[in-house]
Chain A
């Protein structure tokens, strides 16, 4: 079970990640996209999901990642992601509830280039009972 005290907690994300052209091209090719100048609209998940996993499955938060399925996903794209972008991802556990034994947690991640908010993502994850 998720530690209820972690709801509302923000994890600033200290590691910076650099987006490469190879990553954008590989992601785009898999979905049949032949234009590689900017990242496809869902590319940010590559940056945010692993961080969400690391945060939520940390023992102090306590989510059982092995039973997680993705409930819903939202992206707000303030500008396209391009090769050479250097990002820091800051995540906040925004919401948590238990319904029919399933844990439902929403985590927002702000994808930041310096002070510029480039993409906001919301992932709702369901831990199946």
Chain B
């Protein structure tokens, strides 16, 4: 039975400065726009911003929970359309939801993801190809 149209319920992921530091260490991306308010402002940003790749990685966690693990994902892509601003001593909620899009055959489906922060869409065209157990 096709699973096209199945909605993946929204979940909230909390982003704060400590998470940005932990992601910087885990990913090796130590760009100071993700850690230093002074530096971020010096290059014209409103404040420290979240790594686009951290937002995408959290969307990936949402995805792999739904599809039954990282091994089932064969393609994953996203645009970074709006920065997620992370002020000091603040917890920012990233809301991720999804829907099963087209049936690609052999149990593989396109999954379309939505990521919102403070009412603004932060990822664009976020989508993956994954195998789903029918």
Task: Tell me the A residues contacting B by CB distance below 8 Å.
Answer: 23, 26-27, 29-33, 35, 38-42, 45-46, 49-50, 66-67, 69-78, 80, 122, 128
Contacts and interface: CB of A to CB of B under 8 A. Distances in A.
Nearest to B24: A30
A126 to B, nearest CB: 9
Contact of A46 (B28, B43, B71, B79): B28
B25 interface: yes
Q: How large is the interface on B (under 10, 10 to 19, 20 to 34, 35 or more residues)?
A: 35 or more
Given A33-B64, A42-B57, A45-B53, A50 B77 contact: no
Nearest to B83: A69
A40 B64 contact: yes
Question: How would you classify the secondary structure of chain A's contact residues: helix, strand, loop or mixed?
Answer: mixed
A128 B44 contact: yes
B78 A72 contact: yes
Interface string B61-99: 101100001110111111110010000000000000000
Contact of B80 (A42, A50, A70, A80): A70
A75 B77 CA distance: 6
Interface in B85-126: 124-125
Contacts of A77: 73-76
B26 interface: yes
A22 B1 CA distance: 40
A26 B80 contact: no
